[in-house]
Structure 1
Amino acid sequence: MLHDYSAAVAQPTLNAEPARYDEVVAPDGSLRPAWKALAGAAIGLDREELQRISADVVRFLSDDGVRYSRPGESPSWWRLDPVPIVVSAEEWAPLEVGLAQRAELLNAILVDLYGPQTLLATGVLPPELVFGHGGFLRELRGGPGEQHPLLISASDVTRTASGDWQVLADRTGAPSGIGYAMENRRVISRVVPELYRDAGLHRVAPFFQAVRAAMIDAAPGEASDPRVVLLSPGPQSETAYDQAFVASSLGFPLVQGSDLVVRDGIVWMRVFGRLERVDVIVRRVDSAYTDPLELRGDSHLGVTGLVEAVRRGTVRVVNGLGSGVVENLGLAPFLARACEVLLDEPLRLPSIRSYWLGDPDELEQVRPRLEELTIRTIDRTDPTGPLTGDDLLERIEAEPYRFVAQERPHHSQAPALGPFGVQPEPVVIRTFTVRHGSAYRTLLGGLGSIMETGRVPRSKDVWVLKSRPDEPDQRLVEVLPMTNVRAPAAMVPRVLEDMFWFGRYAERAEDTLRLVIAAHGLAQDFRSRPWSAGGQNLRVVSRKLRDLSPSPFEEDEFDEELRSLLLDPFRPGSVAQSVASLRDAAQAVRDQLSPDVWRVFGAIDRAASTLAESALSHEVTNSAGRMLTAISALHGVIDSMMRDDGWRMIMVGRAIERCQQVVRLLDGTVTERRGIDVDRDVLSTVLMIAESAVTHRRRYRGYVRPAGVVELLMFDPDNPRSVAFNLARASEVLRALPASTGSTRPERLLADLQGELENLELASLVVIEGERRPHLQQAVTTVRGLLSRFADAVVEVHLVSAPTPRSFDLPRPVREVAP
C-alpha cells in the first residue's frame, strides 16, 4: 500500500496549483517520519487486505449502530476510511501549543464581550461584527461573570503546502464529533489490531476521563456529588449518536428539555416521585433554543427559566450560553490583535486568510476577486447558495457587515481507499481542547474528514505517535481520583416511555416474523394445492397476514407480499416498520442500553440487505429466520439488563404485546371450525407461530386438539408465551414501579384481567356451535379489550410526560428507511 501510494503521489501532474502537503510522502519521495515508524507493521496492507478491512469497518459500524444525518434528512450510516492519518509527536507539538493558546484566547474574548467589552471600546473588534452575529445573546450581557465559560472547544485544521497548520473554523457553541472520533478509534483498533498495537500512538480514553473531570469540577457551589446531565435536542438530531456516546462514556444522563424544570431559580431533573437538582448542563442545544422564556419563544428544545438560573449561578452550562459568538467567521482578521491585547503574546496558530467585508477597504480589495474566494455570512446561518456575480455583490453591499470572504484552502492530502486502490484525498482534522485543571489540554488525536461531496463525509481516525514508548497516554498520569460515592439512580419519565415502546416493538417484530416464516413454508408446499387441508390452512394464515397489515394482500404474488412485509418500512404492520420504530425508541435511550443492542440491528440490516438483493424464493424464509435469531438475541440482551425501572417498563411492554399477539392469533384460527384435518393443520401452525409446538408435542404426544392449544396459550402459568404467564410477569414488575401504590388504575385493571382469566372454563371455551366456538370468541374479545384499557392506563399513570399518545394497535410513523 505504501509503495503504490508513494508511486502515485510522485507522478507528475498537469495541475497548475502548487502541490498539496502530503501526510505520508515527503517531496523527495521518502516516507515521512510517522509512517517510517509504521512501515514494518504496514507491510501486509495490500489492496486485497484493505478491501477486507474496509468491509469489516462497515460491519462494525453497522453493529454499533453508528449513524449521522443532516438536518431534514433521514439518518445515514457513518462512513470511515480504514487508512488513518498519522502524525508524529514533533509535527503535532506546534499544533497542540497553538490550540491551547487559541482556546484560552477565545475564552478571554467571551469573558470580555459579555463583560467589560474592552475589545469593542478600544476598536480592536468592530461592534457591527459582534452585534450582527446571531450567536451574541444580549440577554446574557453582564451575567454570572464566569471566568471560564469555554470549557471544551473544537477547531477544524489543515496544513498549508509548506506543512504549517492553519485553522479553518472554530466550534465553541456546542462542539460535536468527539464521540465519532472515539468510535473511529474503537473500530480501527479492531480491524487492524497489529498495526494499532505496534504503532505507539496515544490512546483516546484518558482524554474522555479528563473531560468528565472537567464537567464535574465545573459545578457551582460546594456540591459533594454534583449532578451533571447532557442536554440533547433529541434522537432526531444530526449528531444523536455522538451525544449518546459521550453521555454513556462519561456516565451522565442524556436528557431533553422536557426532562428538566426550573423551580425558584434552580434547575431540577424530573424523576418519578421526586425532583433531583442539576448542577451542570453539558448542552448540545444551540444557545438561542435553550430557554423559550427569554430567548427563542418558539423553541421546544430548552428549559423555561434556564437563563435566570444561570444568572443566579445555581447551575453551570457548558459551554456557557452565548459562547457561539466566537465561532464568528469574521473574527479571523482580528484574532492576532486581540491575542496581543488580552494575552499579551503573539497568535501562534493562524486562521485561513479572511476578509471581513464590513470594512470598506477590505470590500474594495475583494470586489474584483469574488469568483475566486469563498463568500459566507459571519454566522453561517444564511448561506449565499448559488448567488454569483452582480447578484452576490448586490447582496453583500446591502449588508456588508454580515459577510466574510475566505481564501480557498489548499488542504493537505492523505491516503484513502478508493475503488481502484489507495489514492490521495484532501483532508481536514477536527481537534478538541478541554480545560482540565488550570490549563487547556488538547486531544492527541482527532476526527479526520475527507473533503468530498456527499450526504455523509468519509471520516478518518487520527493517530498521534508518542515521543517515547513510556510516555503516558494523552500525557495524563491520573485524571480522576477513585471514589466510593455511589451516584443516585435516576430515570426520567421520557426514558421510561421509550423503554415501554422498545419492549412492545421487539415483540411485535418477532410475532410478524414468525407469522411470515409459517406462511412462506405453507406457500412453498400448498400454494398449488388450494383444495388440500394444507391449502386451506394457508388461506387461514394469509387472512392473519391481511389482518396484520391493512394494505392489500395479493395472494397471486405471495412471495412479493411477504418481501414487502419484511422490507417495506412504510407498510403498516411490516417487520421493517416495527424494527425502524424499535430502533427509534432505542436511539432515544441509547445511553441506557448495551452496545449489544446495536449488533442486533446490524444483523437485521444485513439479513434485510441479503433479501433485497436476492430474487430467490427460499431467501424469504432464510432472511426472516436470521432476523428472528437477531430478535431472540435482543431478548437475551434485555434479560441481562439491570433490574431498574427502565427494564421493568420494557417487561411491561413485552407482556402487553405478547398477550395481545396471542389473543389476536387465536381469534379467527382456533375460534372457528373447518373440519378435522384442516383444524389439525391450523392448530399445529398456531402452536408453531406461538413458539409452543415443542412443549405441546411433549405434553400431548402429538395429539393436537383445541382444548390443549387453548390451555397452553391462555392458561398455562409456566409457558412464557401464555396470557396467564405474561399477566403474572406484568403484575410482578408493575408493583415495583415508583408510581404504583397497590391501588392504581393499571393495577386494578390488571387484577380484573387476571380474574377474568381465572373465571374462564376451558371445557366451555372449546364448545362448538355450528362452525364457531362462540365462548372462546367472546373470551378473546373481552381479554383483548381489557388489555387495551390496561395499556392505556399504564401510559396515563407511569408515562405521564409522554409528549404524544401513541396508538396501541398500529405502529407509529417511521422517519427512516431500513437498508
Structure 2
Amino acid sequence: MPMSLFDHEFAAEDLADSLIPPLAMHPPLGHFDNLRDAHNPERLAPHWNTFFAKTIDGLQTQAGIADTAHMLTGRLDDLQQTLARNVEDNGVTYNLYSDAVSHARPWSVDLFPMILSQQDWQNIRAGIAQRAELLNRILQDVYGKQRLVQDGLLPSALVHGHPGYFRATHGIEPAAGTYLHVAAFDLAQGPDGQWWVVSQRTQAPSGLGYALENRMIVSRLFQDAFKALHVERLAEAYASWLRSLQAHSEQGENARTVLLTPGPYSETYFEHIYLARYLGISLVEGGDLVVRDERVWLKTIKGLERVDVVIRRLDDDYLDPLELRADSALGIPGMLQAWRAGNVVMANAPGCGFLESASVMGFLPAISERLLGEPLRMPSIASWWFGERSAMRHLLPQLSEYVIKPTFSDQARRFVPAMGKRFKQAELCQWQERIEKRPDDYSAQAWVPLSHMPTWRGSAQAQSGTASSRAPIGSQAMMIRVFALSDGPGRWRVLPGGLTRIAPEGKEVVSMYRGGSSADLWVMADRAVQERSVQMGHHRTEHVITSRAAESLFWFGRYSERLDNSVRFARIVLEALNNAELDMSGATLDWLHHLAYENGLVSKAAPTPRVARLLFERALVASLADRKAEHGAWSVATVLDGLQYSAFSVRERLATEQWTLVNHAQQEFFASMHGSQIKTRQALRALEHLASQAMAMTGAQLDRMTRDDGWRMLSLGRQVERMSTLGGALASALELRVVEDDAGFGLLLDLFDSTITYRSRYQQRRDLYALVELLVLEAENPRSLVWMSDTLAGRLKRLPSSPWQALEAEGVLQDLPHLWSPQKLLRLAQSNQCAALGRQIATAATAAQNLSDRLTQQYFVHAHADSHAVGN
C-alpha cells in the first residue's frame, strides 16, 4: 500500500480496503480468515469493508493514509476504553473463583463484533431449527418407547449409562411433548468457510444474558455500522420465547415465570440477573421455592405464590435433594414430583443432559433419517465413541489426528479436550492405554482448524510486540454459540445473533472458563431492519418481592447504616484522641472505648484509652482494614464486605450506580489503607472519603429506588440498625454520665450528627433537658429516636399482611420510643437522673433487635405462614 500523500479524497470504502489490511494480522495457514475477501486477500470481505468504512468516516484528511491510520487507531483505543468502562460500570462478570463476590472476574468482550452474512445465517438458521426439533424428538423417544435404543440407532450405554439420563422420569411426558425449550449449539467454521456443529448444550445452556449485554455495549459504539449492515435485532426472539413458555402452562399468559439460579457463587450469575431483569421475571434461588401438594410456590413477603414456569440455570443433579443429590443445598425438595404431576413447566425438562455427550453427535445423521425423514441440514463435526469396538480399533492407531473428549459429564472441568496433534510419543502411548482400559469414557472428534476473526489488540500492545505481531488488529480463533428457542409445540425460532467465543491469542481451544474472550454476533439482514431498542424489563409481569430478596434488602439497609455509623464512630474517636485542645474526662475516655468495642472497632484485648491512649489508637487503626479479624475486631473492612455481599445478592433490584458505588467504596478504601504501618492521619483521610461514599449510597437509596415493599424492607433495616446503634450509644453515655463533661457532650452530638442543629437552637449551653428533647423526642430530627421509631411504625403498617397489630398485641412494640411518655423523660432529664434515662433509652436498642427477629420470622423464614398461599 503506498504511503505517499494523496491529492484526492478516497471514498470511505476504498480507504477501508487500503487502510485496514496492513493493520491486521493474518491467521495461520489453513485457517479461514473472516476479515479478508476469500477471493482477494488484499481486500476486506464486503461486510467488514462496510463496518470499517463507517468507522473511518469523518477521519479522512488531505494529510495521507498514515495520518488517517493513526487517527483510526486512536479512535479505536478510545472506544476500547469506553467498552471497558461500560463492562466495569455495569458490573458484568464471569466468575472463576469460589468467592465470586470479592474475586469476580470482569467479563471479557472484544471491541469488534463477529459479522455473519445473510447467506451464512440462512443456512445456520435452517440447520439449527431442524437440529433442535430432532433433539426434542430423541427425548420423546428415550423417555417413551425407546425405539432408538431397541433398534440400535442409539447405544444403550450412551443413554442409560449417562448420569444425565434420569430413569425416574421415564414415561413422563411434559406439556405438548416439549422437553427442550432452549438449546445452544457451538459452531466452528472450517478452512473452506463451511460451518459445523461441534457441541450442543441441552441441560441449562448459558449465554443468552451475555449475548444481550454484548449487544447493548458493542452496538452503541458502532451505531453507524450497525445500521448500515442491517443487523437483525434480538428483542422479538426473547419475547416470543417467553410467550411460548407461558403457552405450555395451564395458566397461559397469566403464568408466573421465574429464573432459578444456583446463586451468587455461580460463574454466570451476572447473566442470570441480567436475563431475569430483561424478561421481567423473578430471579430465585432454591431456598425461595417450596413444593406443597405437588405444586411449586414462591416464598414472598405476601405469602406463598404459585409458580407455573421455571427457567432453570441449575444443573440437573442439584435440582431435587429428595430424588437426586441428597447433599444439594441448591435444589427444591419435591421439584421432580411437581413436574411429573404436570403442575410446573421446566425449561429445560430434567434429564436432557445426556444429549450433550460428544459421542451422541456421531449417531445423529441416522437418527435424523429415522425421526424426521430427512438428512441433517447442518453437519456435525465427525464424532466417534470409543465404546464401539470397531471405532476404537480404527481410531487408536491414528489418535494424533483427533481431539479426545469425555463421553460423560465433566462438571468439575478436570478434562480439557486433548488435541492429539500436540501429543509427544510418550503422551500418545499413555492416552492409548487409558482409552483401552475404559473405552466407554472417551469420545473422539475430527480436528478442524478454527476460523479467525479480527480482534482489537490496541495500539500500545502492538507497539510493544515483536516485529511480526505489531499489527493493532489481531487475528484469533473463534466459535459461535447460537440458540434455538421454542416458539410453540414443534416450532423453533433461532436467535438472530448469539455469543461469539474467542480463544486466547495464539491458542486454538475456545473456553471462557480458561481465559477466552467473547464478541457480539451480528447477523446481517437483506433489508433495513425496523429499529427496536433492546430494553431490560420489556416484558412486564406483576412484581413480587421474594423472601430472600426482602431479607437481603433488609440487610443491605442494615449494613449501609452500619457502615455510616462505624465510619463516624472511628473518625470521632480518632479525632478526639488527637485533639490536644479537647479535655476529656476519664468517663468520656471509657465511653469512647465502650463505643469502639461494642461496634467492632477494637478487640476486647485492646487497652482502654484511659490506660494506654496510644496503644488503643494503634489497635483501632490496625483493625480498620482487617477483613479477617486477625486483630480480633470486626471493623470497617468486614462491614464493607457484608455490604457488598448483601448488595450482590439483590443486584437485580439495584441500579447500576448503586452497585458501582459499593464496589468502588470497598476497592478505594482498601487501596488507601494499603501498607504495613498505617498512620492515623492516613486512616482519617480514608475514613473521610469513605464517609462521602456512604452518603452517596444513602442518596442513591433515597432517590433511585421505587417506594415498593423492597424499599420498605431496606428502610426498615436502616432504621433498625440506627436505633439499635445510636440508642445503645446514648444509653451508655448517660449511664457513664458522659453528658456532664463538656467534651463528652460535644462528642455525643457529633455522634448523632446533630451538632449544628443543637447549637442553632441552644447555642453552646450544655443542657441534658435540651439533649433529650433533640436526640430522643424531636419528631423532625432524622437522628432522634422518636423519628426512627415513627418511621419504623410507618413502614411496618404498609407491609403486606402488616404485622403491626399482632406485634402490638405481643408487646413487641411497647418499648419503641414514639410510644414513650415525653413528660416522663423530660422530668428525668430535668432532675438529672442519668442512670434512669439510660435504662429507658436502652430499651429502644432492645426493641429494635426484637423487631428484627420478628420480621425475620414472619417475612424471611415464614415461621408462622406455611399454610398462607396466594393464588391457585
Same fold (TM over 0.5): yes
One of 504, 511, 530 as aligned partner of 2:565: 511
How far apart are residue 8 of structure 1 and its match?
A: 5.2
1:691 aligns with 2:753: yes
CA distance in structure 2 between the aligned counterparts of 1:799 and 1:142, rounded to whole angstroms:
38
1:181 aligns with 2:215: no
Match of 2:47 in 1: 34
How far apart are residue 136 of structure 1 and its match?
A: 0.8
Match of 2:10 in 1: none
How far apart are residue 509 of structure 1 and its match?
A: 1.6
CA distance in structure 2 between the aligned counterparts of 1:699 and 1:139, rounded to whole angstroms:
75
Distance 1:80 1:620, change over 3 A: farther
Match of 1:585 in 2: 646
How far apart are residue 81 of structure 1 and its match?
A: 2.5
CA distance in structure 2 between the aligned counterparts of 1:193 and 1:570, rounded to whole angstroms:
50
CA distance in structure 2 between the aligned counterparts of 1:261 and 1:320, rounded to whole angstroms:
18
- SS, match of residue 599 in structure 1: helix
One of 599, 620, 639 as aligned partner of 1:548: 599
1:410 aligns with 2:474: no
One of 744, 758, 765 as aligned partner of 2:806: 744
Match of 2:468 in 1: none
Match of 2:31 in 1: 19
Percent identity, please.
Answer: 30
Q: Which amino acid counterpart does residue 548 of structure 2 have in structure 1?
A: R
- SS, match of residue 261 in structure 1: strand
Match of 1:497 in 2: 551
Preserved CA contact (<8 Å) 1:230 1:252: yes
- SS, match of residue 761 in structure 1: helix
How far apart are residue 403 of structure 1 and its match?
A: 1.4
Q: Which amino acid counterpart does residue 158 of structure 1 have in structure 2?
A: A
How far apart are residue 147 of structure 1 and its match?
A: 2.4
Q: Which amino acid counterpart does residue 33 of structure 2 have in structure 1?
A: Y
1:638 aligns with 2:701: yes
How far apart are residue 24 of structure 1 and its match?
A: 5.5
Match of 1:598 in 2: 659
How far apart are residue 126 of structure 1 and its match?
A: 1.2
- SS, match of residue 67 in structure 1: coil
How far apart are residue 768 of structure 1 and its match?
A: 6.9
Distance 1:62 1:621, change over 3 A: farther
Distance 1:688 1:28, change over 3 A: same
1:648-727 equivalences under 5 Å are 648-666=712-730, 672=736, 679-703=741-765, 707-727=769-789
More divergent stretch after superposition (548-557 vs 692-701): 548-557
- SS, match of residue 229 in structure 1: strand
CA distance in structure 2 between the aligned counterparts of 1:681 and 1:467, rounded to whole angstroms:
78
How far apart are residue 725 of structure 1 and its match?
A: 0.8
CA distance in structure 1 between the aligned counterparts of 2:76 and 2:32, rounded to whole angstroms:
24
- SS, match of residue 80 in structure 1: coil
Preserved CA contact (<8 Å) 1:413 1:426: yes
Q: Output one character per residue of 1:653-701: Cα deviation in whole Å (capped at 9) or x when no partner.
A: 111101122134435556546798xx44544444344332332233234
Q: Which amino acid counterpart does residue 157 of structure 1 have in structure 2?
A: L
Q: Which amino acid counterpart does residue 301 of structure 1 have in structure 2?
A: L
More divergent stretch after superposition (533-542 vs 709-718): 533-542
CA distance in structure 2 between the aligned counterparts of 1:28 and 1:284, rounded to whole angstroms:
43
1:6 aligns with 2:60: no
1:248 aligns with 2:277: yes
1:218 aligns with 2:218: no
Distance 1:742 1:710, change over 3 A: closer
Match of 1:810 in 2: none
Preserved CA contact (<8 Å) 1:519 1:538: no
1:415-564 equivalences under 5 Å are 415-418=454-457, 419-420=461-462, 421-437=472-488, 439-452=491-504, 457-470=516-529, 487-518=541-572, 526=579, 529=580, 544-549=595-600, 550-551=602-603, 562=621
Q: Specify every segment of 5 or more residues in structure 2 that has no aligned partner in the other structure, as ranges.
A: 1-15, 60-70, 419-426, 463-471, 505-510, 608-613, 865-872
- SS, match of residue 38 in structure 1: helix
Match of 1:68 in 2: 94
More divergent stretch after superposition (500-509 vs 370-379): 370-379
How far apart are residue 376 of structure 1 and its match?
A: 2.4
Q: Which amino acid counterpart does residue 416 of structure 1 have in structure 2?
A: T
CA distance in structure 2 between the aligned counterparts of 1:712 and 1:569, rounded to whole angstroms:
38
Match of 2:191 in 1: 161
Match of 1:235 in 2: 264
CA distance in structure 2 between the aligned counterparts of 1:541 and 1:20, rounded to whole angstroms:
71
CA distance in structure 1 between the aligned counterparts of 2:450 and 2:623, rounded to whole angstroms:
46
Q: Output one character per residue of 1:58-109: Cα deviation in whole Å (capped at 9) or x when no partner.
A: 3323332222224635333323222222333233332222222221221121
- SS, match of residue 428 in structure 1: strand
Distance 1:99 1:283, change over 3 A: same
Q: Which amino acid counterpart does residue 432 of structure 1 have in structure 2?
A: F
Q: Which amino acid counterpart does residue 7 of structure 1 have in structure 2?
A: P
1:262-277 equivalences under 5 Å are 262-272=291-301, 274-277=303-306
CA distance in structure 2 between the aligned counterparts of 1:766 and 1:411, rounded to whole angstroms:
85
How far apart are residue 459 of structure 1 and its match?
A: 2.4
Q: Which amino acid counterpart does residue 753 of structure 2 have in structure 1?
A: E
Match of 2:435 in 1: 396
Preserved CA contact (<8 Å) 2:739 2:768: no
- SS, match of residue 744 in structure 1: helix
Q: Output one character per residue of 1:237-290: Cα deviation in whole Å (capped at 9) or x when no partner.
A: 222221122122112222233333333333333345654332222112222322
- SS, match of residue 263 in structure 2: coil
Q: Which amino acid counterpart does residue 569 of structure 2 have in structure 1?
A: L
- SS, match of residue 68 in structure 1: coil
Preserved CA contact (<8 Å) 1:715 1:757: no
More divergent stretch after superposition (370-379 vs 312-321): 370-379
- SS, match of residue 248 in structure 1: helix
Distance 1:573 1:683, change over 3 A: farther
CA distance in structure 1 between the aligned counterparts of 2:664 and 2:246, rounded to whole angstroms:
38
Q: Which amino acid counterpart does residue 161 of structure 1 have in structure 2?
A: P
1:56-205 equivalences under 5 Å are 56-70=82-96, 72-74=98-100, 75-144=104-173, 146-193=176-223, 196=226, 200-205=230-235
Q: Which amino acid counterpart does residue 513 of structure 1 have in structure 2?
A: V
One of 295, 300, 321 as aligned partner of 2:350: 321
Match of 1:807 in 2: none
- Give TM-score, length-normalised by structure 2: 0.80
How far apart are residue 37 of structure 1 and its match?
A: 1.1
How far apart are residue 728 of structure 1 and its match?
A: 1.0
Q: Which amino acid counterpart does residue 355 of structure 1 have in structure 2?
A: W
CA distance in structure 2 between the aligned counterparts of 1:710 and 1:159, rounded to whole angstroms:
77
1:728 aligns with 2:790: yes
CA distance in structure 1 between the aligned counterparts of 2:766 and 2:78, rounded to whole angstroms:
51
Preserved CA contact (<8 Å) 1:144 1:312: no
Distance 1:228 1:422, change over 3 A: same
CA distance in structure 2 between the aligned counterparts of 1:790 and 1:435, rounded to whole angstroms:
47
Distance 1:91 1:507, change over 3 A: same
CA distance in structure 2 between the aligned counterparts of 1:458 and 1:696, rounded to whole angstroms:
58
Preserved CA contact (<8 Å) 2:187 2:199: yes
Distance 1:123 1:544, change over 3 A: same
Q: Output one character per residue of 1:400-459: Cα deviation in whole Å (capped at 9) or x when no partner.
A: 122112344422222334433442222222222212245311122212222238766432
Preserved CA contact (<8 Å) 1:714 1:723: yes
More divergent stretch after superposition (409-418 vs 602-611): 602-611
CA distance in structure 2 between the aligned counterparts of 1:142 and 1:432, rounded to whole angstroms:
28
Q: Which amino acid counterpart does residue 726 of structure 1 have in structure 2?
A: M
How far apart are residue 567 of structure 1 and its match?
A: 7.3
Q: How many aligned positions are there?
A: 784
- SS, match of residue 202 in structure 1: coil
Match of 2:290 in 1: 261
More divergent stretch after superposition (198-207 vs 542-551): 542-551
Preserved CA contact (<8 Å) 1:412 1:427: yes
CA distance in structure 2 between the aligned counterparts of 1:195 and 1:610, rounded to whole angstroms:
41
- SS, match of residue 631 in structure 1: helix
How far apart are residue 324 of structure 1 and its match?
A: 1.8
